[in-house]
Structure 1
Amino acid sequence: MNITPLTRNVIVYLLVLLLCVMLFWLSLSISPKPLLINQSNSSYASVDRQGKLLRLSLSSDQKYRLWVPLAEVPVSLQNATLHYEDRWFYWHPGINPVALLRAVWSSLITQQHWIGASTLTMQLARQRWRLKTDHFSGKLKQMAYALWLESHFSKSQLLEAYLNLAPYGANIEGAGAAAWIYFHKPISALTEDETRALVLIPQNPQLRAPRNATALQSLHKAWQIAYGNSPGFDRLWFRQRQDLPFRAPHFSERLHSLYPAMSTLPSTLDSNIQALSEELLAGFLRQHRQDGILNASMMVVHAPTMEVLAYVGSADYFNRNIHGYVNGLKAPRSPGSTLKPFIYALAIAQGLITADTLIKDTPLRMGDYQPENFERNFYGPLSATDALIRSRNIPAISLLAQLKQPGFHQFLLDAGITIPKHAANYGLSLAIGSAEISMEDLLRLYGLLANQGEVRDLRWLATEKTANKQKPLLLPEAAFIVKDMLATNPRPDRSFGGRSFSAQQSVAWKTGTSSGLKDAWAIGISGEYLIGVWAGNFDGSANRHLVGRELVGPLLFDMVDALAIEHRGSTSADQPPVSLQRIDICPLSGRPVSTWCPHGKSGWIIPGVSPLKTCTLHRQIHINPATGLRLCAGDKGPSIERIAEFWESDELESFKQAGVQRDNPPPFQHPCDDASEQNAEANPPKIVSPQAGVSYPLRLGQQATIEFSAVSGGGRHRLFWFLDDNFIGEGATVNWPGKPGRFVISVVDDQGQSASTSLLVTPVTPS
């Protein structure tokens, strides 16, 4: 039967019309989707502050798929894609009727293979729903999905989705990922020739993805067909997936955890400082491997902006033996003594001390708690500055106990530090690192000292705006003074890097060693840089070499020196707040000088805040030249004037243990009856034990003693103890055989000055 051309055309048109009706009906049956594409299941690209790629991650389905908004795609790439793939994209409804007629005619009338009729929307449908379109039913479904897409999304959304899903070879999807992999640059930075090459790949990614010489030849041939003899192809340099960098892995993962919705993360990281950190850590661990030191981490922050410049979470990300994949900068660890500067800062801000105030480093008992120093010894009286840089535990604990509101626990909470337990759970041990904290939070805290007491969050993205100035969490004057105190901490004796450029540079730094020798810390402020170093083991194992000052102090200064060489001229010196004043200070007592004090030292004070009680350590006394004993104010006869030091008894004992001789005034020749003499030197003894308000248990049927101890005032030599007016012994310490009951304990010195406290002894029946 012969079919006329007219009949043939009618048949084709009817078939196309029927096909369109079927497609429309199929499109109505497609369930709506909440998203055109699941952007959360995408790769992320982290880049440093210079725009260089740090890492391009894989999606959860092992694809390189980096979501890029259409606004960031070069117009040249958009136009080239439409020109090459679908010139009628903005006019058709998802399928191109003219191309469809041609395809039906070719396949049904001339009995040839199905020729290309795919629109860009149809290609998107195939990629979005992973359709098999090499048979008629698959092609039909593809066209139905294309109609559905067009009815639910704008042309801009469809073009954006296509550019983010188009295949570019192997497991590479989307032009954004392809730009990083093939050219190591963001899609927005592609040249015109690079964009023209990229648009050729999706039509046949298996043949044209430039993975080898054969594929390059195939891509070059497609270029010649599409663009003629344009020479641009010869100027292109294609990279491969295996060439992708994998730098600063912990930093990239941390960025992604902080900003999970962002596909491209333009960070603040400085790759040069990052490389310095990694190099120094590697050298440090090589030298200490024989000591069992296997892991360490380092972080560098630009203090004025709080931008993270370097971030090394462990010694080796891929070393499972040391749990290298764990991010040690984010993990909470016991900070040892690194929190002590903030106790001193609060004490200065609350008017308890100055940097020069004398603080006792003597045995201390607070109820059942009897803290010790790391070295298990005592230095006696120390200036606050010396106590801080020597990291003495007892002075810090004593100050913590004296803090008013806000207390130290509340201060940490106000600074944004996550403390899991209530203040009572930590007690005074908070001063020596009983609350775990991360390196990130530690550097945020030290940022208070560098930024005049203002707490600022770390900045991770270069695109983030600097936070507006806030009300200081810490008194700016106190922040400056504590930083100045830490700057007197001498450099360690050795370093590993051999650099010495900044040997004279002022560095405010502090170290810490956790209880049980599990963590060694060093934190420093050098010019505009905050530097944090940690060494230890992620499994929590102890090591006798994990001592902050000795182990990681030198490493900290290696980084200080390296930064001074790498970034000369970037350091800065703080100017003191205008409200601070310097006054003459007694070199021994740390108080404002009296008439009798030696001179030659000055110190900072905060007017209206700092304690300004004049020094009473140095006093003029009169000595009987015949007996060498001290005279009272009204005594007649020959006398010699001299200046004596009036130390308390526990201070003298500490000096004695340290082998230091102090000028203790001699005893009085006789008790002084002059009331003015007594008032001038009113310094009664202080009872250390027993403590008021504390109940002392006594097991019935067992022998037990209770220690009575006191500190006598300067110039007093004898102490007498009384229990309910009954004399029980003499000395700085006596032991009393306990018995149940409530008692009044009194102690009297050799000049009649006294102190008393109550004692409750509670009987306990043995279990």
Structure 2
Amino acid sequence: MWRQAALACLYSQLCSLLPYAVNPAYGGELSDFARFKAASLSSDATLYDRNGQVLQRLRVDMQERKLAWVRLEDISPAVRNALIASEDKRFYEHSGVDWSAVAASAWGNLWNTRTRGASTITMQLAGLLEQDLRRKAGSRSLAQKVNQAWVAQTLERNWKKDQILEAYLNLVPFRGELVGIHALSQVMFQKHPSGLDYIEAAIAVALLRGPNATEAKVTERACQILREQKQPGLCANLEGQVRLAFAQLSRGLAVAGNFSNETAVANLAPHFARKVLSLQQREFRSSLSRSLQVYARDSLVRHLSALADRNVEDGAVLVLDNATGEILAWVGSSGQLSDASQVDGVQALRQAGSTLKPFLYQMALENRLITAASVLDDTPVNLSTSNGLYIPQNYDKHFKGLVSARTALASSLNIPAVRLLVSLQPEAFFQRLRALGMDLRESGSYYGYSLALGSADISLLQLTNAYRALANQGSYTPVKWSVAEPGTAPTQVMQAGASYIVSDILSDRAARSVTFGLESALSTRVWTAVKTGTSKDMRDNWCIGYSDRYTVGVWVGNASGAPMWDVSGVTGAAPVWQDVMHYLHRSRPQRIIAPPNGLVRQTIRYDNALEAERSEWFLAGTAQSQIQLGTSHQIQPHILYPKAGMIAALDPDIPLERQRIRIAAYSERGMLVLDGKKLTASLNPKKELSYDWFPFPGRHVLSLLDAEGYLQDQIVFEVRGAQMKAPR
């Protein structure tokens, strides 16, 4: 009698509240299950390779952790059975509201006894779908409960029972940030929901009633769920399994954004993913190749592991398709080898070193200041700048004297490059680099002559794409991130013939042997043009080169900026570059970039057999057959001796009047000035000025001026020894 009265009272309350409590908006958009399913987004965004294979999952929604929607048929039946046994035994019988359970709950409340509650799975789903019905602190108001029942009945009219179950299991929150059975299954059990067994399903469903319950409480609830499914024998092993599941859950929740197994197999391009994925862009079909990405990453890690004792831990690899500009591989770091694995080495700005020299030589060839056969001067030079003297050095601290432009570029000699920039001027070269996509922060005058040696900070992405322009004979386009991205009309930034000559030089194994030897990591089984670079104090080294089809760029260093120990471009970055290039061409035949129109092939000979006779490429109108050393306009006036920074010591065992220092300079019509006083120097047939100077202790400045009195070279040196007066 009392139970019937309570049920009647409840019906009366519901009926009286319906006209006021039911919001017409509730249930108005619940007719389309497919729309809700499509609108349910994972907290992760997914990056695919060019063939549709998963490369990376990246968390972009920091409010919750949820994986992709799973169909009910892809969820273990054990989960469905446990859910219905625990939460809604008459799920397949009621139409959204279980009035028998409502009556039982009302009766229990009247006599202050505990019952399971009257909220069905459908009502719980209504509370998840409608923002205003979501449970806040405390219980729902009576008006909310009425509206919840109304929405539940609307769902039952429009959705199938299996759709309601599917939606509930995908949207229900579990412990912490985890939402949906897919996320819980991956983190807590490290498996897909389809693989959950009876015990795992019972543990998962037990968490629904109390997401923050203790292990003991979850064990108790899970055992009860198993008993209700006629599986009491499984309770014997339950405590240990709950302990293991909680341990895995704690580890998974401690690592924000990682979904255990799922990210282990989809963590191949994190830096690229962060560039293209966002809340708005949850899926992206990239131009990357999964197999190439894996190989490039593994090659980088393997070679950097071998350099662990040389204080190097970071690196990056970029592979571009020459024709399309598509990014085929983007490895931003060495992963676990690095203390800064989140830093993207492909986009980080680092000193370019000698990698800018090919663009300088191309510009000089294009402007017909030199040919590939021109003789350049690799002897010390001192350049007066607004910040004082600029005294560049070669990498090995040695000077080669007179060399051809081909040898100077291929062997990466510094002094000839600086002399070329003096002729071209830093601002003009700066503008050329900008046109090639290098977003330099300063101006040409800021970098000065050091720009020839790569003093500017440039990213691997910008630098590699500029080399791709060389491979395409001066034609520049931006890179493409996706195969679906439309192409951009190319811009002819560099003259085609001069670009081809630079490519031919960079592919010349003999020309680079002066510095690198005939066999090195720069040599490949197929035709390739390649250049290395090392920045000041060995903080960065690079290897960038191309074949007819691909351009590969590699950077090796430390994200912290710490110097490496005896690691150059040819020992650090080049082995990785060679590895990747061989992989790219493992099944492709040998192909050489064809020369464009406007080039002439000519056999050349040098006076005094300076270099061996060879066949050389020339721009039309610049060809030579005999290179005369004495008439080369590229040999700039300079001081030959003393050397800059030299310290000379007087010998006490030799009479002072017999001690002399031979001062010499290469200049046909110049004058030598020492400490402000002109020296009466003599000129020999080799066009060398010379003067035998009586030395005295102190710091001395020697200048070489031209006939008009303009400074051409200047050095500072020191003499030490017994004190004496300078001769009058």
TM-score tier by shorter-chain length is 0.5 to 0.7
2:322–2:468 contact (8 Å) kept in structure 1? yes
Structure 1 residues 581 and 526: alpha-carbon distance in aligned structure 2, compared to 1, 3 A threshold = closer
The Cα shift of 1:411 comes to: 1.9
Q: Output the amino acid matched with 2:376.
A: I
1:688–1:710 contact (8 Å) kept in structure 2? yes
Q: Deviations over 1:21-51 (max 9, x none)?
A: 1243998xxxxxxxx9999993222333343
1:448–1:455 contact (8 Å) kept in structure 2? yes
The Cα shift of 1:550 comes to: 3.9
**Any unmatched runs of 5+ in structure 2?**
27-35, 75-80, 82-93, 109-114, 196-200, 212-218, 230-251, 253-258, 643-665, 697-702, 713-728
Structure 1 residues 589 and 530: alpha-carbon distance in aligned structure 2, compared to 1, 3 A threshold = farther
Cα RMSD of the aligned pairs, angstroms, is 5.9
- The 1-side partners of 2:437 and 2:169 are apart by 39
> Does 1:339 pair with 2:356?
yes
1:420-569 to 2 correspondences below 5 Å: 420-461=441-482, 463-489=483-509, 503-564=524-585, 567-569=586-588
Show the counterpart of 1:80: none
User: Which of 410, 413, 425 is equivalent to 1:389?
Assistant: 410
The Cα shift of 1:250 comes to: 7.8
Show the counterpart of 2:628: 617
Show the counterpart of 1:19: 18
Q: Point out which structure has higher relative CO (alpha carbons under 8 A, 6+ apart).
A: 2
Show the counterpart of 1:166: 171
User: Which of 277, 293, 310 is equivalent to 1:274?
Assistant: 293
Q: Output the amino acid matched with 2:539.
A: K
> Does 1:348 pair with 2:365?
yes
Partner secondary structure for residue 548 of structure 1: coil
Higher mean displacement: 56-65 or 447-456: 56-65
Show the counterpart of 1:673: none
Show the counterpart of 1:140: 144
Tell me how many residue pairs correspond in the alignment.
591
> Does 1:373 pair with 2:401?
no
Show the counterpart of 2:307: 288
Partner secondary structure for residue 445 of structure 2: helix
- The 1-side partners of 2:44 and 2:505 are apart by 47
1:709–1:732 contact (8 Å) kept in structure 2? yes
Show the counterpart of 1:92: none
2:474–2:495 contact (8 Å) kept in structure 1? yes
Partner secondary structure for residue 520 of structure 1: strand
- The 1-side partners of 2:479 and 2:366 are apart by 25
- The 2-side partners of 1:307 and 1:334 are apart by 25
- The 2-side partners of 1:326 and 1:711 are apart by 60
The Cα shift of 1:273 comes to: 2.2
The Cα shift of 1:651 comes to: 8.8
Partner secondary structure for residue 64 of structure 1: coil
Show the counterpart of 2:50: 49
> Does 1:416 pair with 2:433?
no
2:333–2:344 contact (8 Å) kept in structure 1? yes
Structure 1 residues 583 and 57: alpha-carbon distance in aligned structure 2, compared to 1, 3 A threshold = closer
- The 2-side partners of 1:43 and 1:427 are apart by 47
The Cα shift of 1:314 comes to: 2.9
Q: Output the amino acid matched with 2:404.
A: S
The Cα shift of 1:117 comes to: 7.9
- The 2-side partners of 1:529 and 1:653 are apart by 42
- The 2-side partners of 1:589 and 1:179 are apart by 79
- The 2-side partners of 1:74 and 1:64 are apart by 18
- The 1-side partners of 2:11 and 2:185 are apart by 43
Q: Output the amino acid matched with 2:300.
A: L
Show the counterpart of 1:704: 675
- The 2-side partners of 1:711 and 1:114 are apart by 112
Q: Output the amino acid matched with 1:704.
A: D
> Does 1:605 pair with 2:618?
yes
Q: Deviations over 1:166-187 (max 9, x none)?
A: 138655536997999999999x
> Does 1:731 pair with 2:704?
no
- The 1-side partners of 2:565 and 2:225 are apart by 64
Show the counterpart of 1:632: none
1:252-267 to 2 correspondences below 5 Å: 252-260=270-278, 261-267=280-286
2:426–2:447 contact (8 Å) kept in structure 1? no
Percentage of identical aligned residues: 23
Structure 1 residues 251 and 599: alpha-carbon distance in aligned structure 2, compared to 1, 3 A threshold = closer
The Cα shift of 1:473 comes to: 1.9
The Cα shift of 1:448 comes to: 0.9
1:556-705 to 2 correspondences below 5 Å: 556-564=577-585, 567-569=586-588, 572-577=591-596, 579-588=597-606, 601-607=614-620, 611=622, 617=628, 685=668, 687=670, 704-705=675-676
- The 1-side partners of 2:680 and 2:125 are apart by 89
User: Which of 82, 99, 116 is equivalent to 2:120?
Assistant: 116
The Cα shift of 1:343 comes to: 0.8
Q: Deviations over 1:578-607 (max 9, x none)?
A: x232242433289xxxxx999964433333
Q: Output the amino acid matched with 1:384.
A: A
- The 1-side partners of 2:4 and 2:335 are apart by 78
The Cα shift of 1:105 comes to: 7.2
The Cα shift of 1:545 comes to: 0.8
1:334–1:435 contact (8 Å) kept in structure 2? yes
Q: Deviations over 1:140-161 (max 9, x none)?
A: 16837998xx9xxx99xx99x9
Higher mean displacement: 300-309 or 486-495: 486-495
Structure 1 residues 207 and 544: alpha-carbon distance in aligned structure 2, compared to 1, 3 A threshold = closer
Q: Output the amino acid matched with 1:24.
A: N
2:271–2:342 contact (8 Å) kept in structure 1? no
Higher mean displacement: 388-397 or 703-712: 703-712
1:305–1:466 contact (8 Å) kept in structure 2? no
1:357-372 to 2 correspondences below 5 Å: 357-367=374-384, 368-372=389-393
Report which of the two has the higher share of helix.
2
2:533–2:569 contact (8 Å) kept in structure 1? yes
- The 1-side partners of 2:668 and 2:327 are apart by 53
Structure 1 residues 468 and 732: alpha-carbon distance in aligned structure 2, compared to 1, 3 A threshold = farther
- The 2-side partners of 1:316 and 1:354 are apart by 45
Q: Output the amino acid matched with 1:364.
A: V
Q: Output the amino acid matched with 1:617.
A: Q
- The 1-side partners of 2:145 and 2:269 are apart by 44
- The 2-side partners of 1:163 and 1:453 are apart by 59
Partner secondary structure for residue 546 of structure 1: coil
- The 2-side partners of 1:520 and 1:471 are apart by 29
- The 2-side partners of 1:173 and 1:435 are apart by 48
1:196-275 to 2 correspondences below 5 Å: 206=207, 241-246=259-264, 251-260=269-278, 261-275=280-294
- The 2-side partners of 1:647 and 1:255 are apart by 53
The Cα shift of 1:243 comes to: 1.7
- The 2-side partners of 1:484 and 1:206 are apart by 68
- The 2-side partners of 1:301 and 1:558 are apart by 15
- The 1-side partners of 2:397 and 2:565 are apart by 16
- The 2-side partners of 1:276 and 1:256 are apart by 21
Structure 1 residues 145 and 612: alpha-carbon distance in aligned structure 2, compared to 1, 3 A threshold = farther
